[in-house]
Chain A
Amino acid sequence: MTLAFTICSINYLAQARTLGDSLRRTNPDYQYVIGLVDKLSTANLPADLVPDYPMLEVDKIGIPDFQAMCDRYDITELNTAVKPFFIDYFYKNRPEATAVIYFDPDIIVFQPLTELNKALETNSLILTPHTCSPTPDWERPNELHHLNTGVFNLGFIGLRTDKIARAFVDWWKERLVYECRIDLCEGLFVDQHWVNFAPAYYQNVCIDKYLGYNVAYWNLHERQFSQRPDGTWLINETDELRFFHYSGYNPFRPDDISKYQTRYTFSQRSDVKPLFDLYCRELLANANEQYTKYPCVYIKPPTIKRYQRVRKAIKLPINRLISLLQHR
């Protein structure tokens, strides 16, 4: 049995349901679980908003000292830090699962993942690169962003239930207890940058470059879209679209491909527009507007740093002294 799961807070349940619906259509043999970084008891969702998929709350999976992690991390960091802890929970509590696949909630699966299932029979880990070829310009995102934040996108990871994958998950968990922060100068970018180590540390890691996987704004430059008469989406007229990742897309701003990219507008990429229109419709039909009103119980008010000028003035002589010492 393959267990597919996602992680989100209640405000993203429209996305998680849309993903679940797509898996039900395309991969009905998968068991799908929503990992919830939120509390159902606090939200008290009305019956029509309770998803038709099993939900597993993050405080139920036995993360050691979870409260301290909540205190340390902001909502993005927390939502990503718990990923390997969920995988570990499934390894320990769902022994019938021969493979575990993580999808970000903002993904739609379009096709049966037959080749992926096959690849998971022999590979311990399956990773998908942000882009399989050089980026064409220095618009956002470009190769430098991927160097700073990780060459693989961790909106997807496939793991076989084996010794190597377990060892990787144990190592990943340990890293994320304290270092799932965003601090590019220190080499840190949530859970994702760490996964660069996977092919260096482990031998049985598949870097899957099939162009139909994890299609998103970061790889549009190498992927052109068309449709067969039967409706199947094709990429570069060869690879079938298997799953699309709508990262940074907001259905209330349907004219923006993603808030994180500057390379394309829909007028330049009309080929991809119908895929976003489809997502917009599905999200709205899945009560996106209602869900977004639920604040996450783990969210902290953002820390506002006051007196930046005062801080700068204090640091000026310290920096002079450092420079003096460094230049001998």
Chain B
Amino acid sequence: MPAVVIGLADDPDQLSQDLQSPYPILPVGALFSASERQHLSDQYTPVEFAAACKPRFLNAVFARYPTVETLLYADPNVLFLHSTQPILDRLRNQTLLLTPYLLQAPGDTGPGKKAWPDEKHLQNIGLYNADFLAFTRSTETTQLLSWWQSRAETRAYIDFCKGLCTDQIWLMHAPVFFGGITIVHDPSWHVALWNLPQRQLHQRETTWQLADNGQPVLFVNMKGLFNPDEGFFPHQTRLNPAKRPDVMALLQAYRQQVAAKELAALTAIRPAYGMKPLLPVVRGWRRTATTALTALNKWVDTIYLPALPR
């Protein structure tokens, strides 16, 4: 059994006394001085705060478990459906494994084709998903984490115009700055909302397979499926889960597993860190209205205004 550690980007005092975690919890307070933590908390939203802390968590886990040679990071929305052995096999002699959001062009964007997210939105958030990362202990990994930490802690803002998007967009530099970076092109890895339109699943007893080749699915990411407001694609138009029995079955099974862990008591707790407010996701008529008004703004910017007589 692999050792599991939960990095808590929150205040552990918020947890109920009788909550028993089967896994050791490493609180963010153990990584930063109170003033450093406060500084990060003040400048970021909760999402940005957690992202800014990620590289330091990874460094801390390597330091606390000195005999550990491989380290997998998974977002809490990830669910492993298969042994991690294929991941460990790919990791041999590598620094870092990266999984792209998409392994092929969606083919449904561009003039007259309005599917969203389009590829240019992916450029804004980064093409490699930071919700799953696999590292081996090495000098190269130490250098990568040290660089990533310096960037993510100071620049984890979501600000597309400045080229910023959490810890994730920085990973675009990883394959060019560091050696031993593998971009994994295997569709059985990291199955999720954004790639399910290109991947049909098939349930076979307790395992899940890719329908077209029977390959077992290694892990899925339920971000944006479990909670549609979470993640970078709250307005995605490609996947309608209701029309995908495979996705509905997977989601149903996941919901049951999460419910068994007493979710309700925890979801009511507001994050203690990340003081900048998150913009709520708007839907329905509000969404239609904001989209129309944004288009109106663009029109005002570009419309020809005749010179006024002096």
Contact = CB atoms under 8 A, between A and B. Distances in A.
Interface of A: 129-134, 143-148, 151-152, 171, 174-175, 177-179, 184-188, 193-194, 196-197, 199-201, 203, 207, 209, 305-307, 310-311, 314-315, 318-319, 321-322, 325-328
Give 3 nearest A-B pairs by CB, closest first: A187-B123, A148-B163, A147-B163
A193 B280 contact: no
A196 B301 contact: no
A203 B279 CA distance: 38
B175 A207 contact: yes
- Point out which of A194, A200, A322 has the most chain B C-beta atoms below 10 A from its C-beta: A200
Given A148-B162, A307-B305, A318-B296, 20 more contacts: A134-B177, A147-B164, A147-B169, A147-B170, A151-B172, A151-B176, A171-B105, A184-B160, A186-B124, A187-B120, A187-B122, A196-B172, A200-B102, A209-B176, A305-B302, A310-B305, A315-B301, A325-B286, A325-B290, A325-B293
A147 B125 CA distance: 10
A19 B292 CA distance: 49
Nearest to B126: A147
B103 A318 contact: no
B158 to A, nearest CB: 12
B293 A322 contact: yes
Interface in B294-308: 294, 296-297, 300-302, 305, 307
Interface centre among B124, B147, B169, B302, by most A CB within 10 Å?
A: B124
Contacts, number: 123
9 contacts: A132-B177, A134-B147, A174-B110, A178-B111, A185-B161, A187-B124, A321-B293, A325-B290, A326-B282
B201 interface: no
B151 interface: yes
A186 B116 CA distance: 13
A188 B109 CA distance: 14
B163 A145 contact: yes
Contacts of A203: 185
Contacts of A131: 176-177
A177 B110 CA distance: 9
B208 interface: no
B301 to A, nearest CB: 6
A197 B14 CA distance: 42
Contacts of B228: none
B127 interface: yes
A177 to B, nearest CB: 8
Contacts of A143: 151, 170, 173
Contacts of A193: 123
Contacts of A188: 120, 123
B213 interface: no
Interface of B: 100-105, 110-111, 119-124, 127-128, 147, 151, 155, 160-164, 169-170, 172-173, 175-177, 183, 185, 279-280, 282, 286, 289-290, 293-294, 296-297, 300-302, 305, 307
Contacts of A207: 175-176
A315 to B, nearest CB: 5
A184 B300 contact: no
B163 A306 contact: no
Contact of B103 (A178, A187, A201, A325): A201
B265 to A, nearest CB: 26
A319 B185 contact: no
Contact of B300 (A147, A201, A318): A318
A112 B142 CA distance: 37
B297 A319 contact: yes
Contacts of B176: 129-132, 151-152, 207, 209
Contact of B160 (A174, A187, A194, A315): A187
Contacts of A200: 100-103, 127-128, 183
Contacts of A184: 160-161, 163
A318 B160 CA distance: 21
Contacts of B173: 134, 143, 146-147, 151
B183 A199 contact: yes
Contacts of B160: 184-187
Contacts of A196: 123, 127, 172
A207 B174 CA distance: 12
A171 to B, nearest CB: 5
Contacts of A152: 176
A181 to B, nearest CB: 10
A174 B108 CA distance: 12
B226 to A, nearest CB: 22
A306 B307 contact: yes
A328 B286 contact: yes
Contacts of A321: 289, 293
Contacts of B289: 321, 325
Given A143-B173, A147-B163, A306-B307, A311 B301 contact: yes
B111 A175 contact: no
Contacts of A307: 305
